[in-house]
Structure 1
Amino acid sequence: MAELTEIIKARRSIRKYEEKDVSAEALNQILEAVQWAPSWTNCQCWDIVVVRDPETRKKLQETVLPKNPGAKAVGAAPVVLALCGRQGVSGYYNNQVSTKFGDWYMFDLGLATQNLCLTAHSLGLGTVIVGLIDHDAAKALLNVPDTHELVALIPLGYPAKISKAPKRKEISEFAHEERF
C-alpha cells in the first residue's frame, strides 16, 4: 500500500519532455491499466487514439486553446493519447439515462485516466491531462465517430522537468463526518 501511496503523491502534470521514444511495452502496460479501470456496468466506454506521428501531434497542438499551458506538451511529447468516450452506455439501463447526472461516461473516463497517469508515472513517464481544447476540431482530425466524444489529450513521454508538489488541502478541509 505504501508504494501506491507514494506513486499517487509523486505524480505531477508534466509539460516538458525529453526527446526519447516511449516503448511499445511501456505503452501496452499503460493501456492495460486502462483496460482494468472500473466502469458503470463494466461498459468500458473508453477508446483511446494513440498518436505518434509528429505532423498529427502538431495539428492536435493547434486545437489547444490559447494560453493553455499544456499546448506545447501536445506537440513535444513523443506520444499523445486522445481519450474518447462512447456516449449512451454509461449511466444507462434499458437505453434510458438512470442517473441525475445523465451520461456517466465522464466519470468512467476519469477512473481510466487516473489508472493511465499513475501507471505512466510508475514507469518513469510523465503525463498531463489537456482538456481546454477545441474538442470538435480534434475529434474531426482523428476521425472519431459521432457515437463518441473526444474528451482530453494526454501527452506521454519522459519528463524533462518535474515540478514540486502544489499545496494540498488538509483532510479536515474536505472530509465531513456523518453530515456535510
Structure 2
Amino acid sequence: MLDLIKSRKSVRKYSEKHISDEDLRKILEAGRLAPSWMNVQSWKFILIKSEENKELLSKLSLGQAHVKNADALIVCVADVNAWEEAKITHIKNPGLNPALQGENGLLIRTMEQVIYPISYMMLEAESLGIKSCIIGAMGNEITGIEQDTYHEVKQKLGLGDGQILSTIITLGYEAEESMTTKIRKDFDDVISLEKLGSKF
C-alpha cells in the first residue's frame, strides 16, 4: 500500500485510451466502502462520461482543460441531508451529532467526510494504472464563484438543496509518463511523539 501511495501523483494530460466500465465500478466501489462518522455516509458520486457534461464542468472549474479532456470524471457531492436521514436525532450531544453543531459546523463536518472516499477512489484508480487529479477550484456554495454555471450544473446533475458539489476527480490513462518528483515535507516536520516537535 505504501508503494501505491508513493507512486500516486496528480496527472493532467491523458491519452485517448478509454477506462473500462468494470474498472470505473471498482473505483466507485472503493469510494462507497469508505468509512464515515457513525456510518452516515454523507456523500453521493456521479460518474460523468459525456463530452457535454465534461465541457460544462470544465467551465465550472474556471476552464481547466484536464476536466474536459479526462476520459471520465467523478463528481463528489457533500450531502448535508444525510445527517437527518441517518435518524441520529436521539443523540443530543453536539460532539457526537454534527447535526447539532449549527449550519456552519454541519457543513464543515460534511465536507470533511467526503475526503475519505475521495482518497479511497484515487488509490483504487492508481492500483489499476489509472491516473487522477483532484479539482477543488470551481464554483459552488463555498467559493461563491461561477454561480450561474453552478446552478446550471446542479440542475443538470440533479442536485437538490443541501447537496453541494465539493470536488471533481478527473480520471484517465497518462498521455506520457512525466518525471514529476513528489515533494513532501520531511517525516520529522510533520510527525511528532506525544507533543509537537518531539521526534518519533
Tell me the TM-score range normalised by the shorter chain: 0.7 to 0.9
Aligned to 2:184: 168
Aligned to 1:30: 27
List alignment gaps of at least 5 residues for structure 2: 90-96, 141-146
2:111 is aligned, of 100, 106, 111, to 106
Identity %: 30
Q: Is 1:55 matched with 2:70?
A: no
Residues 125-180 of structure 1, C-alpha deviations (whole Å, 9 max, x = no match): 01100010012514344231112100011111111134423321111101122122
2:68 is aligned, of 46, 66, 75, to 75
Aligned to 2:128: 123
| Structure 1 residue 109 displacement after superposition | 0.8
Q: Is 1:155 matched with 2:170?
A: yes
The SS at the match of 1:47 is strand
Residues 75-127 of structure 1, C-alpha deviations (whole Å, 9 max, x = no match): 0011111100111545995273359x822222221110000000001001011
Distance, in Å, in 1 between the alignment partners of 2:44 and 2:177 is 28
Q: Is the 8 A contact 2:9 2:182 kept in 1?
A: no
The number of equivalent residue pairs is 172
Q: TM-score, normalised by structure 2?
A: 0.78
Distance, in Å, in 2 between the alignment partners of 1:73 and 1:157 is 10
Going by fraction, where is helix more abundant, 1 or 2?
Answer: 2
The SS at the match of 1:128 is strand
Opposite residue 78 of structure 1, the aligned amino acid is D
Q: Is the 8 A contact 2:72 2:170 kept in 1?
A: yes
| Structure 1 residue 44 displacement after superposition | 1.2
Higher Rg: 2
| Runs of 4+ with >6 A deviation | none
Opposite residue 37 of structure 2, the aligned amino acid is W
Opposite residue 105 of structure 2, the aligned amino acid is G
* Greater mean deviation of Cα atoms: 166-175 or 131-140: 131-140
Q: Is the 8 A contact 2:47 2:73 kept in 1?
A: yes
Q: Is 1:5 matched with 2:2?
A: yes
Q: Is the 8 A contact 1:57 1:75 kept in 2?
A: yes
Alignment of 1:78-89 (within 5 A): 78-89=71-82
The SS at the match of 1:108 is helix
Q: Is the 8 A contact 1:131 1:152 kept in 2?
A: yes
List alignment gaps of at least 5 residues for structure 1: none
Distance, in Å, in 2 between the alignment partners of 1:148 and 1:107 is 14
Aligned to 1:97: 100
